[in-house]
C-alpha cells in the first residue's frame, strides 16, 4: 500500500519509527545521541535558511556521525514520501541541482515537504531523546 500523504499520521509515524531505530542503534553513545538530537531539531532552521540543495551538500561534507545520521534518514524519508528517486545517497546532489530534470516548481514543492518533515524530526527528537535533550542544549 502506498503511503497516504493526506493522512498526517503517515509522516509522523515514519519519522518516529526511524528516529527510534536510530536511537536504539546508538543507545550507549551519549555524544552521538546528543549530536543526533541537535541535528534533528536544527534541520528545520538550516533548511528554511539555506534550502535542500545546500542541506544535501552539507550531508556530503559533514564529518560528525551523529549529524550525518539525521540528514541521511531525512533525505531517505523525503525520497520515500515524495516518491522522488535519487534524493538519498550521493546522487541526491545531482538530482536536486539538475534543472533539466527537476523544475523549479518541483524543487519548491520538495522544499515545502522537507520543511514539514523537518518539523516532525524536531518534534519527535524531543520525545525520543528526552534523556539527552538537556545535556545537548547546555552544550549549544
3-state secondary structure at position 42 = helix
pLDDT at 130: 92
Quick one: what percent of the chain has pLDDT higher than 90?
73
The Cα 29–Cα 49 span in angstroms is 30
pLDDT, tens only, 49-66: 999 999 999 988 887 777
Rg (CA), the chain: 15
Rounded alpha-carbon distances, angstroms, from residue 60 to 47, 127, 128: 15, 28, 26
CB atoms within 10 A of CB 92: 25
- C-alpha closest to that of 31 among 75, 65, 8, 57: 65
Per-residue pLDDT for 2 more than 70?
no
pLDDT at 140: 67
For the structural domain made of 9-138, what CATH number should be given?
Answer: 1.10.520.30
For 101, residues 6+ apart whose C-beta sits below 8 A from its C-beta are 95
Q: pTM, whole model, 2 decimals?
A: 0.90
Amino acid at each position: 500500500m502506498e503511503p497516504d500523504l493526506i493522512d498526517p499520521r503517515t509522516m509522523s509515524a515514519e519519522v518516529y519509527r526511524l528516529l527510534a531505530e536510530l536511537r536504539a542503534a546508538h543507545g550507549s553513545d551519549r555524544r552521538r545521541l546528543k549530536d543526533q538530537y541537535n541535528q534533528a531539531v536544527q534541520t528545520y532552521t538550516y533548511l528554511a535558511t539555506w534550502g535542500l540543495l545546500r542541506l544535501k551538500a552539507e550531508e556530503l561534507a559533514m564529518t560528525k556521525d551523529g549529524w550525518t545520521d539525521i540528514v541521511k534518514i531525512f533525505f531517505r524519508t523525503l525520497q520515500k514520501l515524495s516518491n522522488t528517486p535519487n534524493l538519498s545517497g550521493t546522487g541526491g546532489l545531482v538530482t536536486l541541482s539538475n534543472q533539466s530534470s527537476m523544475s523549479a516548481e518541483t524543487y519548491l514543492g520538495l522544499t515545502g515537504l522537507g520543511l514539514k518533515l523537518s518539523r516532525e524530526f524536531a518534534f519527535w527528537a524531543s520525545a525520543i531523546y528526552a534523556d539527552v535533550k538537556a545535556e545537548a542544549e547546555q552544550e549549544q
